[in-house]
Structure 1
Amino acid sequence: MFVARTFSSKPALSRLSARRAASSLVVGIRREDPQRLWERRCPLTPDAVHDLVRDGVRILVQDCHRRIFPVREFVEAGAEVHNTLQPAHIILGIKETPLDELDSLCAPVAGTPRTHIMFSHTTKGQPYNMPLLSRFVGSRDAPTLIDYELLTNEDGTRTVGFGWFAGAAGVVEGLCASAHAHLELGIASPFLNLARPYTYRSLDDMRAALRAVGTMPMPEVLSPFVIAVTGSGNVARGALDLLQELPVHRIPASELPRIVQDPNSAGKIYLVHVRPEEYLFHLDGKPYDRESYYSTPLDYQSRFHELIAPYVSLFVNGTGWRPGFPRLMTTSELGVALQAARAVGPTRLRSIADISCDVEGGLEFMRKATTIDDPYYTAAPEVGGVQVMSIDILPTELPRDASAHFSNALKPYLRALINGEDTPDGALARATVARGGELAGSHEWLMERLPLPKETPAHLLGRGGAGAGAGMFKKKKILLLGSGMVAKPAVDEFLRRGDVSLIVASNNTAEAHDVVRGRANAEVVALDMGDKGKLDSLVEKADVVVSLLPVPFHTTVAEHCIKHAKHLVTASYISPAMRALHSRAAEADVLLLNEIGLDPGIDHCSAIDLRARLEKRGMRITRFASFCGGLPAPECAGDVPLGYKFSWNPRGVLAASTNAARFKLDGTVYTVAGEDLMRRGSYFHDVPLPGAGAPLALEGVANRDSLSYASTYGLGPVQGLATLIRGTLRYRGFSDLLHAFKILGFLNAEEQDRFALPDWRYFVMRCVGGKVGRELYDDASVRAAIADVVASDSGDVDAHDVLQALEWCVFGVLAGNANANPDGLPRVPHGSAPAIDHFAALLAAKLKYFPHERDLVVLAHEIVAVGENDGREETWSSSLVVYGSPNESAMSRCVGLPVAMAALRVLDGEVRSRGVCGPGEEEVYVPVLRDLEHAGLGMVERTRPGRGPLGETLARRWQHKF
Structure 2
Amino acid sequence: MTILRRAPLLLSARGAHSPAHSRSVSNGLTIGIRREDPSRIWERRCPLTPEAVNELVTKEGVNVVVQPCDRRVFTMREMREAGAVPHDTLSPAHIIVGIKETPLSEVLTDPLPLSGQVVPRTHLMFSHTHKGQEYNMELLSKFLNPPTLSAHQIDRLRPTLIDYELLTDDSGKRTVGFGWYAGVAGALESLAALAHALLEQGVASPFLSTPRPHTHPCLPSLTNSLHKLVGDRIASEGTPPVLGPVVICVTGTGKVAQGALDLLAELPIQRVSVDDLPRLIYVVHALPKDYFVRADGSPYERSHYYANPDQYTSIFHEKIAPYLTLLVHGAGWARGYPRTMTNEQLRLALEAAQGVGPGRFTCVGDISCDIEGGLEFLPQHSTLSAPFFSTRPAALPAHLRDVTVMAVDILPTALPRDASQHFTRVLLPYLRTVIGGYRGAPVVGGDERGRAEALERATTAKGGVLAERHRWLEDGPLGAWRSQSGVVKSEAGGAPVRKKVLMLGSGMVAGPAVDEIARHGDVELFVASNVLNEAKRLTAHHANASAVLVDMGDQQRVGQLVEEADLVVSLLPVPFHPIVAEICLKHKKHLVTASYISPAMRALHERAVDANVIFLNEIGLDPGIDHCSAISLLSKLQAENKRVVSFTSFCGGLPAPEHAEGIPLKYKFSWSPRGVLGAALNGARFKLCGELREIEGKNILKEGFPDMPVSDVLKLEGIANRDSLHYADVYSLGKVEDLRTLVRGTIRYPGFSSLMHSFKTIGLLDVDRQVRLEHWFDLPREVLSARLGAPIPNDAASFTSALLNLMGDLESTEVLDALSWLGLLPESTHTLATPVPTAPMAPIDLFATVLAQQLRYHPGERDLVVLHHELVVRPATLVGLHTSAEEVHTSSLVAYGDAGASAMARTVGMPLAFAVRAVLDGNIQTRGVCGPGAEKAIWTGVLAGLEQAGLGMRESVSHRVSGGGQVESMLVRPRSTLMQTY
Determine if the TM-score, normalized by the shorter chain, exceeds 0.5. yes
Cα 1:908/1:117, change in 2 over 3 Å: closer
Does 92-101 or 643-652 show the bigger shift?
92-101
Deviation at 1:863, TM superposition (A): 1.0
The one of 916, 933, 937 aligned to 1:903:
916
Task: Map Cα deviations across residues 892-937 of structure 1 (whole Å, 9 max, x no partner).
Answer: 0000111111122222332222221111121311111111212111
The residue that corresponds to 1:330 in the other structure is 385
Deviation at 1:696, TM superposition (A): 0.7
Deviation at 1:784, TM superposition (A): 2.0
Q: TM-score, normalised by structure 1?
A: 0.64
The residue that corresponds to 1:423 in the other structure is none
Deviation at 1:319, TM superposition (A): 7.6
Amino acid at match of 1:925: W
1:397 aligns with 2:425: yes
Deviation at 1:519, TM superposition (A): 3.2
1:726 aligns with 2:735: no
1:664 aligns with 2:664: no
The residue that corresponds to 2:901 in the other structure is 888
Aligned ranges 1:434-445 → 2 under 5 Å: 435=471, 439=474, 441-443=476-478
Alpha-carbon contact 1:480-1:505 (below 8 Å) kept = yes
Task: Map Cα deviations across residues 656-684 of structure 1 (whole Å, 9 max, x no partner).
Answer: 111110111111111111110001xx100
Task: Map Cα deviations across residues 278-309 of structure 1 (whole Å, 9 max, x no partner).
Answer: 7899xxxxxxx98679989xx9xxxxxxxxxx
The one of 834, 839, 847 aligned to 1:831:
839
Cα 1:134/1:401, change in 2 over 3 Å: closer
Alpha-carbon contact 1:630-1:857 (below 8 Å) kept = yes
The residue that corresponds to 1:802 in the other structure is 815
Deviation at 1:159, TM superposition (A): 4.6
SS of match in other structure, 1:892? helix
Cα 1:409/1:944, change in 2 over 3 Å: farther
1:711 aligns with 2:729: yes
Amino acid at match of 1:762: D
The residue that corresponds to 2:562 in the other structure is 539
SS of match in other structure, 1:671? strand
Cα 1:825/1:36, change in 2 over 3 Å: closer
Task: Map Cα deviations across residues 790-827 of structure 1 (whole Å, 9 max, x no partner).
Answer: 239xxxx732222222221134x5259x9xxx724422
Q: TM-score, normalised by structure 2?
A: 0.63
Aligned length: 721
SS of match in other structure, 1:35? strand
Alpha-carbon contact 2:620-2:912 (below 8 Å) kept = yes
Alpha-carbon contact 2:550-2:557 (below 8 Å) kept = yes
Cα distance in 1 for partners of 2:494, 2:700 equals 52
1:814 aligns with 2:869: no
The residue that corresponds to 2:807 in the other structure is 790
Cα distance in 2 for partners of 1:522, 1:697 equals 42
Does 902-911 or 141-150 show the bigger shift?
141-150
SS of match in other structure, 2:777? helix
1:925 aligns with 2:939: yes
Alpha-carbon contact 1:929-1:938 (below 8 Å) kept = yes
The residue that corresponds to 1:65 in the other structure is 60
Does 592-601 or 270-279 show the bigger shift?
270-279
Alpha-carbon contact 1:168-1:238 (below 8 Å) kept = no
Q: RMSD across aligned C-alpha pairs, in angstroms?
A: 5.6
SS of match in other structure, 2:808? helix
Alpha-carbon contact 2:138-2:481 (below 8 Å) kept = no
Cα distance in 2 for partners of 1:226, 1:33 equals 53
Cα distance in 2 for partners of 1:295, 1:64 equals 55
Determine what percentage of the aligned residue pairs are the same residue.
Answer: 37
The residue that corresponds to 2:771 in the other structure is 755
Mind listing any 5+ residue stretches in structure 2 that lack a counterpart?
11-27, 35-45, 50-57, 63-94, 114-119, 189-216, 236-247, 273-278, 287-320, 329-339, 351-364, 372-377, 389-406, 433-445, 460-464, 880-884
The one of 162, 168, 173 aligned to 2:176:
162
1:739 aligns with 2:739: no
Cα distance in 2 for partners of 1:951, 1:92 equals 50
Cα distance in 1 for partners of 2:567, 2:690 equals 44
Deviation at 1:528, TM superposition (A): 2.0
Deviation at 1:735, TM superposition (A): 0.4
SS of match in other structure, 1:936? coil
Cα 1:790/1:905, change in 2 over 3 Å: same
Alpha-carbon contact 2:526-2:547 (below 8 Å) kept = yes
Deviation at 1:742, TM superposition (A): 0.6
SS of match in other structure, 2:725? helix
Cα distance in 1 for partners of 2:47, 2:590 equals 49
Does 833-842 or 801-810 show the bigger shift?
801-810
SS of match in other structure, 2:837? coil
Alpha-carbon contact 2:168-2:454 (below 8 Å) kept = no
Deviation at 1:952, TM superposition (A): 3.3
Deviation at 1:613, TM superposition (A): 2.0
Cα distance in 2 for partners of 1:741, 1:433 equals 70
Deviation at 1:736, TM superposition (A): 0.5
1:940 aligns with 2:949: no
Cα distance in 1 for partners of 2:344, 2:685 equals 41
Does 572-581 or 127-136 show the bigger shift?
127-136
The residue that corresponds to 2:268 in the other structure is 251
Deviation at 1:634, TM superposition (A): 1.0
Alpha-carbon contact 1:880-1:937 (below 8 Å) kept = yes
SS of match in other structure, 1:505? strand
Cα distance in 2 for partners of 1:783, 1:128 equals 67
Aligned ranges 1:458-857 → 2 under 5 Å: 460-462=488-490, 473-517=496-540, 519-679=542-702, 682-689=703-710, 692=711, 694-750=712-768, 753-776=769-792, 777-791=794-808, 798-811=811-824, 813-815=825-827, 823-857=831-865
Cα distance in 2 for partners of 1:669, 1:471 equals 64
Cα distance in 2 for partners of 1:494, 1:608 equals 25
Alpha-carbon contact 2:47-2:420 (below 8 Å) kept = no
Deviation at 1:954, TM superposition (A): 3.3
Deviation at 1:582, TM superposition (A): 1.6
SS of match in other structure, 2:807? helix
Cα distance in 2 for partners of 1:92, 1:763 equals 56
The one of 28, 31, 35 aligned to 2:32:
35
The residue that corresponds to 1:878 in the other structure is 891
SS of match in other structure, 1:483? coil
Cα distance in 1 for partners of 2:818, 2:137 equals 45
Does 725-734 or 115-124 show the bigger shift?
115-124
SS of match in other structure, 1:798? helix
Cα 1:221/1:895, change in 2 over 3 Å: closer
Cα 1:100/1:531, change in 2 over 3 Å: closer
Alpha-carbon contact 1:605-1:929 (below 8 Å) kept = yes
Task: Map Cα deviations across residues 245-297 of structure 1 (whole Å, 9 max, x no partner).
Answer: xxx753269x9xxxxxx9xx9xxxx999999977899xxxxxxx98679989x
The residue that corresponds to 2:19 in the other structure is none
Alpha-carbon contact 2:527-2:547 (below 8 Å) kept = yes
Amino acid at match of 2:913: A
Amino acid at match of 1:133: K
SS of match in other structure, 1:250? coil
Deviation at 1:953, TM superposition (A): 1.7
SS of match in other structure, 1:595? coil
Cα distance in 1 for partners of 2:683, 2:801 equals 30
Cα 1:722/1:471, change in 2 over 3 Å: farther
Amino acid at match of 2:31: P
Amino acid at match of 1:882: A
SS of match in other structure, 1:912? coil
Deviation at 1:408, TM superposition (A): 9.8
Deviation at 1:590, TM superposition (A): 2.5
Amino acid at match of 1:909: G
Aligned ranges 1:43-62 → 2 under 5 Å: none
Cα distance in 2 for partners of 1:160, 1:529 equals 58
Aligned ranges 1:228-307 → 2 under 5 Å: 234-237=254-257, 239=259, 250-251=267-268
Cα distance in 2 for partners of 1:831, 1:231 equals 73
Amino acid at match of 2:896: Y
